[in-house]
Structure 1
Amino acid sequence: MYAFPPSSNTDIFFGGKLLRRWLICLHATVRRSQRRPSSSTPTVQLTLFLCASPSTGERERSGKRGKMRLKKHKRNRKVVRFYSTRYGFREPFKVLCDGTFLHHLVLNKLGSPQEVLSSLLSARTILFTTRCIISELKRLGESFSESLKGALSLTITKCEHPDRVSASSCIEAIVKDKNSDHFFVASQDADLRKKFREIPGVPAIYAIRNSMFLDQPSACHLQFVKTAEEERLHMKELEVDMIKEREKKRLADQAAADGTESLGDVTKGRGVRSMHTSWTFNQKDKSMFKRKRAKGPNPLSCKKKKNSKGPVAA
């Protein structure tokens, strides 16, 4: 049996639409017929198979998957924009990866962490880990050797504790003070992600099988932003005290100036001039500019008067 190689798929344009040419597989089965006295040539039998185009259901499913990917991409961009505008996250974004997340990438063969996270956040990223996370991966043995190799290739951030602690405790110690370093935390630990939802400004990244997800802002994150905006709209107590002190000093200086001017007026035999004090910082009593009054017509634009009397005789 001999099979000809199938022709490759080719795209053609017809009437402004992209059409997929059907794949034509031509199989030729050559077999020798039984020897006949009338003919000694072999008989060739050709079989033509026509591969059908994808069904309507398959096209609908692929279209739904594309729409879902687009919605997920827009949702992730919205979350990244929220943390950038409200919490001050800046590109390149810093991502703190723990051992569970790196091991999940290795098991599911999702690729390098740099490419996966840059694609998720749609921006440049810098990946970090800690000494405690690396020591924990070392203790887990040979099954985590690939994850350990990936962790050693990341940038190591400093953790402020003398002895080695668990990876979750180390990450909590780094982001506990409102995440001042602006870290995205990538972890597969559900309990750890639940704690981060109670700490303002700590976005979490996790994976489910072959899909990556960016956690939505929690109610605690939204309430913190709302409270901060309300505080910015109102003056602080220190600012109110400073304004009161300045006003007291201004009134005292103005009273001293009024006393000096009144003494001068009494000496010269004139009345005491009253000054108008207000919150508008020494506004004048009268307006600086005179009010414009209606004027007469322009004499050049007026028609000359006609002489009613006749010409004077010489």
Structure 2
Amino acid sequence: MGKRKTKKFASMKRMISLKDQRIKEKDRAKVQETKKKDPSEIKEKEVPKYPSCLFFQYNTQLGPPYHILVDTNFINFSIKAKLDIVQSMMDCLYAKCIPCITDCVMAEIEKLGMKYRVALRIAKDPRFERLPCTHKGTYADDCLVQRVTQHKCYILATVDRDLKRRIRKIPGVPIMYISNHRSELTSDYQWVICGYRCVL
């Protein structure tokens, strides 16, 4: 009995190197000459552009009326704490506040279902400014981080720890959160006025 030849798994045909002498000169790959680096040459490095609105870490674009980006968790926690969102924001900042809600956050609240219908009703309040999203997907955290990075005129209102951690890495963006049944604002510069942490 003769032995059958079995095909080896994932075997490839041998190929001639492009530098081989058997290939015509016009088709042959050229040998790359290694350039010696000049030590006196100026090294170029691409650095991300620093926003012009920041004076060190002080954000010059923040000012009344404050535009506050609201996260899903912030609305839910404000309901639990029995806080009127707009009123508590004004109490915190002592100025007019315009809560803004993106399409992604609205979609996230709608996905939560009937259990969070009160949050949906609050989000559809005419006092809330609706911001359209142009990107793909409905992941709210990425949307908020992207928007805050592009435009430094927003304060971000959230209770989510992971989102707070991401936002703290972006300079000049204050974070508003709920603690002890009231809205508080955090940043590098803080002082306490009437029980609220405020940044001006």
- TM bracket (short chain): 0.5 to 0.7
Correspondence for 2:86:
114
Correspondence for 2:130:
156
Shift of residue 152 of structure 1? 1.2
In the alignment, structure 1 residue 102 sits paired with structure 2 residue 75: yes
CA 1:184–1:190 in structure 2 vs 1: closer, same or farther (change >3 Å)? Answer: same
| TM, length-normalised to structure 1 | 0.40
CA 1:99–1:202 in structure 2 vs 1: closer, same or farther (change >3 Å)? Answer: same
Q: 1:222-265 deviations in whole A, cap 9, x for unaligned?
A: xxxxxxxxxxxxxxxxxxxxxxxxxxxxxxxxxxxxxxxxxxxx
CA 1:155–1:84 in structure 2 vs 1: closer, same or farther (change >3 Å)? Answer: farther
Shift of residue 209 of structure 1? 4.1
Shift of residue 84 of structure 1? 11
In the alignment, structure 1 residue 91 sits paired with structure 2 residue 79: no
| Structure 2: gaps of 5 or more residues | 1-54, 190-200
Q: Do 1:84 and 1:90's aligned partners in 2 also have CA atoms closer than 8 Å? A: no
Shift of residue 83 of structure 1? 10
Shift of residue 216 of structure 1? 2.4
Structure with the larger RCO, 1 or 2 (CA within 8 Å, 6+ apart) = 2
| TM, length-normalised to structure 2 | 0.61
User: After the TM superposition, which residues 118-267 of structure 1 pair with which residues of structure 2 at under 5 Å, given as runs?
Assistant: 118-153=90-125, 154-161=128-135, 163-177=136-150, 179-180=151-152, 182-217=153-188
Query: Would you say how many aligned residue pairs link Structure 1 and Structure 2?
Result: 133
Percent identity over paired residues: 26
Shift of residue 215 of structure 1? 1.1
User: After the TM superposition, which residues 264-303 of structure 1 pair with which residues of structure 2 at under 5 Å, given as runs?
Assistant: none
Q: 1:134-184 deviations in whole A, cap 9, x for unaligned?
A: 1111111112111111111121112230x332111110121123x33x100
| Structure 1: gaps of 5 or more residues | 1-81, 219-314
Q: Do 2:88 and 2:182's aligned partners in 1 also have CA atoms closer than 8 Å? A: no
Shift of residue 128 of structure 1? 0.4
Cα RMSD (Å): 2.2
- SS of equivalent to 1:207: strand
More helix by share: 1
Q: Do 1:134 and 1:148's aligned partners in 2 also have CA atoms closer than 8 Å? A: yes
Q: Do 1:99 and 1:151's aligned partners in 2 also have CA atoms closer than 8 Å? A: no
Moved segments of 4+, more than 3 Å:
82-86
Tell me how far apart the structure 2 counterparts of residues 166 and 186 of structure 1 sit (CA, whole Å). Answer: 16
Tell me how far apart the structure 1 counterparts of residues 59 and 137 of structure 2 sit (CA, whole Å). Answer: 34
- SS of equivalent to 1:109: coil
Q: Do 1:95 and 1:126's aligned partners in 2 also have CA atoms closer than 8 Å? A: yes
Larger radius of gyration: 1
Shift of residue 85 of structure 1? 6.1
